[in-house]
Amino acid sequence: MRVVTWNLGWRFGEWEPRQPAIDATLAATDADVIAVQETWPDQLARLAERLELHWAFSGRRPSESVEHGFGNGILSRRPIAHHAEITLPALVGPAYRSALLVRTAPNGDEPPFTAVTTHLTHRRHETPTRLVQLDALHAFIDDNGGAETDALALLGDLNATPDSEEIRRLRDSWIDCWAEGGKGDGWTWARANPLAAHARWPNRRLDYVLLPTAGRPTRRLHVVELIGTCPIDGTMPSDHYGVLVDFSL
């Protein structure tokens, strides 16, 4: 199973010239499941048509508000048999962050695969909010049968570094694929990226592919690598790098 997570940078900045670079980067992954953040329905529909994948979306539909106008998407090679979404809580301000769960149809002897994607609140000091959002996320996964399946992945932009309280808590029940099989720092927000070069934030690993631990067989990780690290025809596709993981079910 090959999965990808990637924050696509919504319509921030000069977003239109970035779309062909996003298309080409994702096409090259040949992934079975692609989770994206900071996306919108028209972008997902176009990607699905180009890549011949099925898709689902969670979040607010595009609007004049940049803050409230983006969401999460999942693209799947297999047909989608079930999908659900939840609006995550916010301790301050409006609640608009969301999570999306997709369960694919079985394929012969292969069981359904459940993918969950989310994009947690982004401010560095908002650990309490992210912890509450993670509690809601786990309840959402359980309510949609995630605890009952052997084929499950959590993918997304968690806006938390590997040494944070948020990720330490996740490691109680999830495997961090980059920590297990990646090479190097795995920064997904990096000053080397021209679209992130002028940000005040330091180099950080914010984007994760997580596989469950409790009650599941051991997964073999074949490939764990970054995507979207190079410009295509002179254009960087996003201010984030994505994460690709190829593993055995």
What is the Cα–Cα distance from 68 to 78, expressed in whole angstroms? Answer: 30
Which helix (H) or strand (E) segment holds residue 235: the answer is none
Sheet holding 152-157, edge to edge: 80-87, 98-104, 114-119, 152-157, 207-212, 174-176
Show the CA angle centred on residue 149, arms to residues 148 and 152, nearest 5°: 130
pLDDT of residue 68: 47
* Entry pTM: 0.94
pLDDT of residue 46: 95
Which residues, 6+ apart, have CB-to-CB distance to 204 below 8 Å? Answer: 161, 187, 188, 189
Instruction: Give start and end residues of each alpha helix (H) in the chain.
Output: 19-29, 41-51, 127-143, 165-170, 177-181
For the chain, give the mean pLDDT. 92
Tally of structural domains, the chain: 1
Name the stretches of the chain with pLDDT < 70. 61-69, 150, 214-218
Count CA within 13 A, CB hemisphere, residue 135. 8
Report pLDDT digits (tens) over 81-101: 999 999 999 998 878 899 999
pLDDT of residue 92: 85
Report pLDDT digits (tens) over 41-74: 899 999 999 999 999 999 876 565 544 468 999 9
| Angle of helix 41-51 versus helix 19-29 axis, rounded to 10 | 50
CATH code, domain with 78: 3.60.10.10
Domain holding 197, by residue range, is 2-247
- Backbone torsions φ then ψ of 239, nearest 5 degrees: -80, -10
Report pLDDT digits (tens) over 166-182: 999 999 999 999 999 99
Token pair of 197, please?
A: 């070069």
